[in-house]
Amino acid sequence: MGSTLLCPQHQKPITQLNITKGQEKRIFCTDCNTENQTLISFEEAMKLWQNLEGKSVQKFQTFKNSKIPQLDHLLNKFQQYKEQALKYINSLIETTDDYRYQFIKAVDREINQIKSLKEDMNIQKLKEISEILSEKLIEEENDSNHVGNLNLERILIKEKELLQELKKNSLMIHQEIKKIIQQNQQEVKIRPINFQQINSIKQQQDCYALAFNKAGNIVVSGSGKDIIVWKFEQEQLTQLQTLNGHNYNVNCLTFSYNQLFFVSGACDSQIMIWREQSKNNWKCVQTLNEHANSICNIIISQNDEFIYSCSLDNLIKVWVKNIDNQFELYQSLLGHSGSVYSISLNLKETQLISSSRDKSIIVWEFGEDKLWKKLQTIQNDDYGYRIVFISNVTFFWQRYGNGVAQVYLFDKQSLNYKLLKKINMKEQITDGYYLSPSIFHKKQHLIISKHAKNFYIVRKLQNNKFSLLQTIEFPSSSLFGAISNNVDYLIIWNDKTKDIQIWKNQ
């Protein structure tokens, strides 16, 4: 069968093709001159073309099939690089935030030292003040001048060092992202958890609260209505001082971030602020008396300017540091109809959560008018003793009744917190003691929470998943503990053994 296509020269069907390389005339009909031409029929040419077409299609199909998995793999890699780069940038943000905190802490420390010159006046301090005035080192128009032996200039030096470090970190971003592309960047090292008891020290008096300072070298513990200050060194507790002041059992202890003071709350409804006057010599410098019942929980803002407290009187109170370095009542939060057992701030300190005997959780938000206002009330069928933020938009709540912890996540569409998941603990029984608040360790993503006779250590994983790492069981449910900032040590007191046990992360 010939072609239906016509020869341009004779307008007759094409019958033959010239497939010899380098020829100008390719198509022929029956009237074309075919002398000295190597020709094949149209049908034969079509068969050759179909064969070539099949081979070419197969070749390209094979090529496509081999390259698509490679491209998919590359896309997955780029997605991983993107996620890792975002993690790195987030870590830089966290580092910058830490630098900011360190700078504020250093400045506040110097301010406190300046103010302390006029407190507890003695001959030596009077001489120091006279020397400062005589040398005219205090000038309002020059903030960088030395202020006697307080040496404010080192704050400015520290500030420059921090700024240089931040610039250095910014320059490193591009290099780090390139490094991510060249090889898989290692994740921030998350420490394995395996606490084992290594030591203990007897304490016969009831201990309802313990706290490490941020450096991990000082521990304070409740001892009935007193407070014991311990030195923690070489995995040993050595008693330094016993502090008197409260009239009934001490319920909570919290160190400030700059380590210049700690705060205690007790069954006498009092909150006491303790400062180190000289090495290993702590003294109560202020007592806050606005609550009408036992103090349940105390937290301190990261800049040490605010104290938050809750009580069996159904109230939450916010305290602010004034220009005289004293705390005064800033705001009372009304909303619960039962005892408020636990409170927690989110990482940005823009939201506060509270858990109450009235079976409700209230989310409070810090407004533009600088006041806390109720954002949401979550009503449950049970109350809970412990609640803690584990991110800016996620919190962990420990139920009283059945050994179940609930995780809530902020929903951007409804602008409310919603139940995300439940975590079953080992003991499906009620918890008898409302003290010993849950702790969240931000860098290691750890939740340390007590329920009944156990301390639970839970790790927050990616995608809002959780892993129960360790359960430490005790002979009674009357147990209270704290964890060091470096996650090396747990200290726990229980009423059966009447001792403070030291547990080390092996």
**What CATH number has the domain bearing residue 417?**
2.130.10.10
The verdict on residue 197 lying in a domain is no
Measure the CA dihedral 146/278/105/154, to 10°: 30
Do 133 and 270 belong together in one domain?
A: no
Do 293 and 259 belong to one domain? yes
pLDDT computed for residue 286 by the predictor: 96
Report whether 135 contacts 147 (CB < 8 A): no
Phi then psi for residue 464, to 5 deg, are 55, 40
Say yes or no: 88 and 234 in one domain. Answer: no
Residues 254-280 have pLDDT tens digits of 999 887 899 999 999 999 999 998 888
- Domain boundary (119, 149, 182) is at 182
pTM for the complete prediction? 0.64
90 and 158 co-located in one domain: yes
Q: Do 416 and 281 lie in a common domain? A: yes
Domain boundary among 371, 403, 431: 431
Same domain, 216 and 159: no
Tracing tokens 């994983």 back to the chain, one arrives at 461
Same domain for 106 and 211?
Answer: no
Q: Is residue 46 part of a domain?
A: no
Residue 222 lies in a domain: yes
Residues 221 and 111 in one domain: no
Q: Are 240 and 224 contacting, i.e. CB atoms less than 8 angstroms apart?
A: no
Exposed/middle/buried for residue 94 (C-beta within 10 Å: 0-12, 13-18, 19+): middle
User: Are the beta carbons of 312 and 321 closer than 8 angstroms?
Assistant: no
Distances from the Cα of 46 to the Cα of 65, 72, 73, 98, 215, angstroms? 28, 38, 41, 76, 86
Rounded Cα distance, 154 and 170, in Å: 24
Give the position of tokens 């008096």. 205
pLDDT of residue 313: 96
In this structure, what token pair is assigned to residue 460? 């927050």
Q: Say if residues 379 and 355 touch (Cβ distance below 8 Å).
A: no
Residues 232 and 168 in one domain: no
What's the pLDDT tens digit per position in 403-447?
789 999 999 889 999 999 998 887 767 777 788 899 999 889 999
DSSP code of residue 220: E
Which of 372, 404, 431 is the endpoint of a domain? 431
Q: What is the CA radius of gyration of the chain?
A: 36
Q: Is residue 14 part of a domain?
A: no
Burial class of residue 367 in the structure, from the number of CB atoms within 10 Å of its CB (0-12 exposed, 13-18 middle, 19+ buried): exposed
What are the residues whose beta carbons fall under 8 Å from the beta carbon of 8, sequence distance 6 or more? Answer: 27
pLDDT single digits (tens) 212-249: 999 899 999 999 999 999 999 999 999 999 999 999 99
Is residue 229 in some structural domain?
Answer: yes
- What pLDDT, on the 0 to 100 scale, is given for residue 475? 87
The answer to whether the beta carbons of residues 423 and 457 sit under 8 Å apart is no
353 belongs to a structural domain: yes
Domain housing 153: 80-182
Residue 413 lies in a domain: yes
Are 219 and 350 within one domain? yes
In a domain, 165, yes or no: yes
- Identify residue 35 by its one-letter amino acid code: E
176 and 215, same domain (yes or no): no
Q: Do 414 and 334 share a domain, yes or no?
A: yes
- Along the 506 residues of the chain, how does pLDDT read in single tens digits? 456 788 888 888 888 888 877 777 888 888 888 777 788 888 888 888 888 888 888 888 888 888 888 777 777 777 777 777 777 676 677 667 666 767 777 777 777 666 665 555 565 556 555 655 555 444 444 444 443 344 445 555 655 666 666 666 666 655 655 555 454 434 446 888 999 999 999 999 999 999 999 989 999 999 999 999 999 999 999 999 999 999 999 999 999 988 789 999 999 999 999 999 888 899 999 999 999 999 999 999 999 999 999 999 999 999 999 999 999 999 999 999 999 999 999 999 999 999 999 999 999 999 999 999 999 999 999 999 999 999 999 999 988 887 789 999 999 889 999 999 998 887 767 777 788 899 999 889 999 998 888 899 999 988 888 999 999 998 888 899 999 999 999 999 988 999 999 999 98
* Count of domains forming the chain: 2
Name the residue type at position 387. Answer: I
